[in-house]
Amino acid sequence: MKMVLGRRTRILAATTATAGLLLVAGCSSDDDGGKKTTANGVELVKGGQLTTCTHLPYPPFQSEIDGKVQGFDVSLIDLVAEDLGVKQEILDQPFENFKTGGSLNSDQCDLAAAGMTITDERKKNVDFSDPYFDATQAVLADKKSGIASFADLKGKKVGAQAQTTGEEYAKGKGLDPVSFESSDAVLNGLRTGQVQAVVIDYPVVQGWLKDKANADAFEVADNINTGEQYGFSVKKGNTKLVDAINKALSDARADGTYKKLYEKWIGPYDESAASASPSAAS
């Protein structure tokens, strides 16, 4: 499993928890001597909790707000945990760890929720839930850069978050983007002039532009429909947990909870986001 040196793995309290942040070095351990627990037929890596791997920050899907990790992904997985009769605990790790399935295969977490696009390459390492969000890539540029479209990025200093489909898309189009570890680092790179524009998921850009200083300095130069859909990932073969996630997503769409959470964290509700189906994933 690829690790990033100098970075500590963190277990963080989710929205349903009241405890503060708990920092630990290394991997999580089980209080019951390593014995796994079953809730509603789903085997968990640690008794009494649904352990979620993510990579912080990535608003509006997951970020630390007032000492708690909150966001769209967090709220949806809280619904899964509620159905299982447990609480959600969040483990912050480098994105690479669960994109490759390493954290899942080593039983550090039950699932990964990180605004992660479903791709055929990633399906080789993990199993995905049904899609829960349709995403596009945005080009956010400095207003003084003269960049008005993706085509204008040629010859410019461009940034992207490491290990993401935004970075892959930019490279696939012949660009050599500066790689930043987190979305916060991407934005900081733009603010400090390290790059003139960035390629990143549009919902992230929407969140940034809610800040007046960002809106005054930067603008969306392009919005690219890449056909991406997000999914939650689990260890390959963990069909019972996939079924539990899919049931929670289906119930949330049916009873209006999904719409409420979408409007809270993303913005105006897009009906197509609720009609995503497994066959649409790629």
Lowest mean pLDDT across 22-26, 31-35, 162-166: 22-26
Residue found under tokens 């699932």: 111
Q: What is the pLDDT of residue 270?
A: 64
More confident residue, 269 or 241: 241
Q: CB-hemisphere CA count at 13 Å for 114? A: 29
pTM: 0.74
More confident residue, 7 or 64: 64
pLDDT-derived band of residue 40, with 50, 70 and 90 as boundaries?
Answer: confident
- Mean pLDDT, residues 53-63: 90
Structure tokens at 123: 């399906």
SS3 of residue 19 by DSSP: coil
pLDDT-derived band of residue 178, with 50, 70 and 90 as boundaries?
Answer: very high
Sketch out the chain's domains with CATH numbers.
Answer: 10-132+231-271 (3.40.190.10), 135-228 (3.40.190.10)
- Ramachandran region of residue 140, left (φ > 0), alpha (ψ -120 to 50) or beta? beta
Q: Give the Cα separation of 99 and 105 in Å (integer).
A: 11
pLDDT-derived band of residue 36, with 50, 70 and 90 as boundaries?
Answer: confident
The torsion angles phi and psi of 214, rounded to 5 degrees, stand at -70, -45
Q: Is the pLDDT at 92 greater than 50, yes or no?
A: yes
The rounded percent of the chain whose pLDDT value lies above 90 is: 64
Of residues 10, 188, 182, the one with CA closest to residue 93: 10
pLDDT-derived band of residue 96, with 50, 70 and 90 as boundaries?
Answer: confident
Q: Sheet containing 218-230: give its strands across.
A: 178-180, 158-161, 197-201, 133-142, 218-230
Most distant CA atoms of the chain, gap in Å: 59
